[in-house]
Structure formats: C-alpha cells, structure tokens
C-alpha cells in the first residue's frame, strides 16, 4: 500500500469541510426561515413630528459637543429611512452622531388612499420646510444642512431651488438622478408613447409597493437569486447574514407611491426633464437649480444602475453654487450609503466635506 | 505547496455566481432595453388595469345593491377621520400634550464642535458658505486600486 500524498489529504479535507458546511447550511437556513425580521433602526431617537406619511426623527446625540449646524437626511419616498441606520456599526446615522453631527431624518410611512393626491409641492413646499422649521425650533439653530438620497436628493434640490433665501446651509445629493433622460432602462420603460401614467394613477390612486419593487428589481433581474446563493454560501458568517437580512428587509419594505406624485414626477421630471432644463415650476415657484448658491456636494456611485452616471453627472454644471464638488466612488446605488463600502468610502468623504461647513 | 492545493469549491462557486449574475443581467437588460419590450410591458400593464377597473366597478355595483359601503365610502370615512386626527394633533400640540413636538429629555451637547485639525484656526479662517468661495468646483474620483 502506498502512502497518501499531500494532495489526496488536501482533497479529502476540502471535501470533508464542504460536506460539513452543506449540512450546517441546511440547519441554519431552517433557523433563518423561522427567525423574526432582522432588527433595524436601533440608534436611539425621538419622533419629533408626524403628519400622515411624514415622520421626522431626531437622533440622540452621542458626542460631547456637536457642530453648530444640524443635519437633515431626506429619504426617497419609495423607501424606508432605516437604510441610514441598518445596524450598529453599519449605520450612517450612528457614524454621523459619533463624528459630532446633530442628526434629523425625514422618513415616510406608506401613503394611504386619502393621501393619493400628494404632489411634489406637498413634499417640497410643505413637508420639508415644516421639518426644517421643527428642527430650528428643536435645535435653536436657524440653519440646516440637507442630505438627500436618490429621489430624496431631487426633493432636496427642488426645496433648495425654491427657498434660496431660506435656512439651507449646505446641500448634499447622494446618487441623485438629476438628468432623468439619462436614466437608461427606467426611461425606456416610461416611454410616453407606451406608458399611460394617467390610467395607472386614475385606476389605482396609490401605486402599490409591488409595482415599485418590480420596477427596481427588473433592472437587475438576477440580483435576488444571486443574493440568495451568496447567502447560502456564507451562511456561517454571522455578520454577512445579519447584513444580508437587513438589506433584504429594506428591499422588501419598499413603499407605495402617492398617485399624483407619481403622475407629476413622470410627466414633469421623467418626460419633461424639467428640473434639468430649469423649466420646473412647483407650487407656483420656479425650481431652477441655477438659483442654488449654497455649498453643494454630489456623491455618486460608479456602478449605480438606478441612478446611472448619465443621470448624475450634469448636476455640478447646472447649479449656481461656486463651492461645489462631486465625488465618484466605487459601488452601487445602495452600497454607496450602507454596508462595508460605505463605511470605508462614502461616510468619511461626507464627514470631511460637511464638517468644515457646519460650524 | 501551491500546486498541491485543490481548488476551493466555495471560491469557485462565488466566482461562478458573480459571473452568472453579470451575464444574466447584461443579457436581460439588452432585451428589456428595447422599444418592443417597453411597448409589450406597458400593454400588459394596461390590460391588467382594465381588468382591475372592471372588477372594481362590478364590486361597487354589487355592494351598492346589497346596501353595503363601497370602497369609496370607506375612503371618504377614512379621509374624515384623518382630518379629525390632524385637528386633534394640532390641539394636543397647542396644549403641549402631543406625542411629538414635546421637548425631549435627552442631553443637548453644546454646538461648539470644530472640525478636526481646524480647532485653532477656526476662529480666524472664514468658513466656506453660501457661494462666497470662488473657484471651489472640484470633481474627484476614487483611486482605481481601492
């Protein structure tokens, strides 16, 4: 009998590990199937204001002293804001608090049928200004920096462009699709020759969350399956599993859209591209980003499929601000703001830019 | 020795998943990015909406005949409740008794923080703000090797 070679023993060991892990994966997947939803949004906060779909949070400061100017994060109306606060160590809110910012967040609840008539004007001329008034009353500071994510960035831009004498101190747009004609697949699917937004809104009132989710997922049809395969592969890594489940929960809790808001964003922003062209009028006010003069930072992702590069790159050229900067980072639409990439890349970049403008 | 190490099945699997996802998405996007797909998808949506509208009308008719509240009736009621809710909220707030808007008992640190490295210079140096800083436009890109 010949002695077994090192190669044979390595193969045996690899096979043994593989079989053991496969059995353990099966066991873990059963545990996960019965597990409660991954806890998210754990950073302590107060609900400062609620009205219908709107919620304004104030997070409890962590630092011994904070920057003078408070920060308001504005979430897109299609998603819950807990992506800013996924889990301890993976929370942009927690990071900003530790860096010494006083953090407020605009979150959205699903709009009800009686809120189907909400328009861009409600969001940008009522909700955001009301939140900013509340922040001023709560913090005692007249100025505020606004950070908008995705369509939250669009709402923040419209707010800023229509309140040029207002309390806005700094504006940060995260993955904001400013030029809607550069939105690739979404633009193709919204082709006005085929997409009957009036029929959709008139029939449904509120556009269901499933339709919104479908629109997102269709752009990366293999993503969900690939994600599940990766979860299966890394079932032993507790941090990976927690992170996956938190992101999954965020994706699954997509919000419905108020019908009139959907109609208006489709016609004015997507078809007309009026924020980009400077022709947008909201609530009787001209929303020209050329009128924006506050310091502006645009942070965009290189591999963003929801706000592709063509839709984000023109912002700096169009705003009136002289203090303006764009930071292009590796990553995608969501990994830019949450997860390991964000921890390493985006959050420090945001802190570096905002801290010197928050005193 | 490197030559004696068998390939790690997990690493191979991960690589395959990434490649499969990339190829599948690319192929699907080519197909779904066509005008024909957009037209077909939107036609399908219209037919779904037509069916939904017909169903809703039929249900409304049935509920009306049964002398029961329709969806529109419930919505009107819901709107009325929402109006009352908002009024109550305003009254509670004016009485300083609401769940939101109350002064929070949390600690309020002083708003004196200065950016790291600028603590000493902060008082002297002007802060960039409100478009007063000239020539500050900057575009940066992360290094490729990061």
Name every residue whose Cβ is closer than 8 Å to that of residue A2 and which is 6 or more positions away in sequence.
none
pLDDT tens-digit readout, A3-58: 556 667 777 887 888 788 888 888 888 888 888 888 888 899 999 998 889 999 99
Q: Dump pLDDT digits (tens) for A336-349.
A: 898 888 999 999 99
| Stretch 40-69 of chain B: residues touching chain A, C-beta under 8 Å | 41-43, 45-46, 49, 52-53, 56
Total count of residues recorded for chain A: 359
Name the band, by pLDDT with cuts 50, 70 and 90, for residue B90.
confident
Contact B128 A295 (CB under 8 A): yes
- So what's the pLDDT on residue B131? 38
Per this entry, what is the length of chain B? 146
Mean pLDDT estimate for chain A: 92
* Residues of B in Cβ contact (< 8 Å) with A49: 100-101
**Which residues in chain A are contacts of B135 at CB distance < 8 A?**
322
Q: Considering only alpha carbons, which residue of chain A is nearest residue B141?
A: A328
Contact (CB<8Å) B4/A7: yes
A269 within 8 A of A153, measured Cβ to Cβ: no
Average pLDDT over residues A194-211: 93
When pLDDT is cut at 50, 70 and 90, the band that residue B78 belongs to is confident
Q: What is the pLDDT of residue A22?
A: 82
Query: Which residues of chain B from 95 to 124 reach within 8 Å of chain A, CB to CB?
Result: 99-101, 104, 106-116, 118, 122
Degrees, nearest 5: CA angle A213-A214-A217: 85
Rounded mean pLDDT, A95-123? 95
User: Please, which residues bridge with residue A286 across strands?
Assistant: A281
Rounded to whole angstroms, the Cα distance separating A64 from B108 reads 9
Cα distances from A319 to residues A330, A353, B103, in angstroms, run 24, 18, 37
Q: Tell me, what's the pLDDT at B85? A: 84
**Residue from B31, B138, B145, B146 whose CB has the most chain A CBs within 10 Å, to mutate:** B138
pLDDT in tens, A113-154: 889 999 999 999 999 999 999 999 999 999 999 999 999 999
CA dist A164 and A136 (Å) reads 17
CA A191 to chain centroid: 25
pLDDT at residue A228 above 70?
yes
Give the pLDDT band (50/70/90) at residue B71: confident
**Contact yes or no for A190/A177 (Cβ under 8 A):** no
Q: What is the pLDDT of residue A26?
A: 82
Question: What local confidence, expressed as pLDDT, does residue B8 receive?
Answer: 75
- Give the one of B108, B122, B139 whose C-beta lies nearest to A359's C-beta: B122
pLDDT digits 0-9 by tens, B22-42: 999 999 999 999 999 999 999
- Which of the residues B86, B109, B121 would you substitute to probe the A interface, choosing the one with the greatest number of A C-beta atoms within 10 Å? B109
Q: What is the mean pLDDT of residues A288-295?
A: 95
ipTM higher than 0.85?
no
For residue A244, pLDDT over 70 is answered with yes
Instruction: Please give the order of strands across the beta sheet that includes B138-141.
Output: A45-51, A54-59, A103-108, A71-74, A144-149, A168-174, A296-301, A324-329, B138-141
Q: How far is CA B136 from the centre of its chain?
A: 31
Instruction: Please judge whether B4 and A6 are an interchain contact, meaning their C-beta atoms are less than 8 angstroms apart.
Output: yes
Q: Which two tokens stand for residue A1?
A: 């009998």
Q: What is the pTM of this model?
A: 0.85
Q: HSE on the CB side for A117, CA within 13 Å?
A: 3
CATH annotation of A45-355: 3.40.50.1820
- What are the tens digits of pLDDT across the range A247-264? 888 888 999 999 999 999
- Interface contact A325-B8, CB threshold 8 A: no
Token look-up 């994600």 returns A227
């Amino acid at each position: 009998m010949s002695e077994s070679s090192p190669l044979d023993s390595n193969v045996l060991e690899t096979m043994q590990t593989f079989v053991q892990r496969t059995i353990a994966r099966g066991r873990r997947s059963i545990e996960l199937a019965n597990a409660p939803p991954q806890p998210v949004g754990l950073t302590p906060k107060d609900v400062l204001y609620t009205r219908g779909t709107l919620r304004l949070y104030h997070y409890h400061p962590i630092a011994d002293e904070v920057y003078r100017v408070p920060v308001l994060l504005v979430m897109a109306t299609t998603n819950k804001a807990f992506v800013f606060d996924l889990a301890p160590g993976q929370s942009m809110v927690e990071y900003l608090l530790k860096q010494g910012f006083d953090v407020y967040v605009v979150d959205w609840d699903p709009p009800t049928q009686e809120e189907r008539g909400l328009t861009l004007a409600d969001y940008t001329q009522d909700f955001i200004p009301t939140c900013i008034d509340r922040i001023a009353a709560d913090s005692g500071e007249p100025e505020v920096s606004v950070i908008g994510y995705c369509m939250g960035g669009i709402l923040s831009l419209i707010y800023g462009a229509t309140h040029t004498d207002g309390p806005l101190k700094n504006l940060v747009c995260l993955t904001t699709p400013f030029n809607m004609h550069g939105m690739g697949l979404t633009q193709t699917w919204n082709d006005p020759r085929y997409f009957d937004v009036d029929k959709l809104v008139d029939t449904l009132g509120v556009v269901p969350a499933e339709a919104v989710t479908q629109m997102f997922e269709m752009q990366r049809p293999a993503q969900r399956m690939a994600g599940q395969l990766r979860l299966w592969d890394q079932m032993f890594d507790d941090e990976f599993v927690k992170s996956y489940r938190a992101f999954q929960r965020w994706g699954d809790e997509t919000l419905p859209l108020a019908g009139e808001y959907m109609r208006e964003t489709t016609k004015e922003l997507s078809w007309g591209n009026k924020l980009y062209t400077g022709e947008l009028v909201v609530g009787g006010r001209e929303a020209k980003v050329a009128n924006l003069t506050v310091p502006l930072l645009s942070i965009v992702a290189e591999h963003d499929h929801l706000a592709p590069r063509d839709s984000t790159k023109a912002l700096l050229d169009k705003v009136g601000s002289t203090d303006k900067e764009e930071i292009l980072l590796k990553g995608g639409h969501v990994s830019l703001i949450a997860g390991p990439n964000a921890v390493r890349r985006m959050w420090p970049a945001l802190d570096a830019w905002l801290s010197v403008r928050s005193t | 020795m490197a030559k004696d190490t068998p390939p790690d099945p997990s690493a191979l699997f991960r690589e395959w998943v990434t490649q499969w996802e990339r190829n599948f998405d690319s192929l699907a996007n080519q197909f779904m990015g066509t005008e024909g797909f957009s037209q077909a998808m939107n036609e399908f949506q219209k037919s779904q909406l037509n069916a939904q509208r017909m169903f809703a009308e039929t249900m409304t008719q049935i509920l009306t005949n049964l002398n029961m509240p329709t969806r529109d009736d419930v919505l009107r009621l819901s709107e009325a409740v929402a109006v009352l809710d908002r009024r109550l909220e305003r009254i509670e707030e004016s009485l300083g008794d609401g769940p939101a808007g109350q002064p929070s008992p949390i600690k309020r640190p002083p708003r004196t923080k200065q950016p790291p490295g600028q603590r000493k210079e902060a008082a002297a140096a002007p802060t960039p703000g409100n478009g007063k800083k000239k020539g500050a436009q900057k575009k940066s890109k992360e290094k490729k090797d990061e």
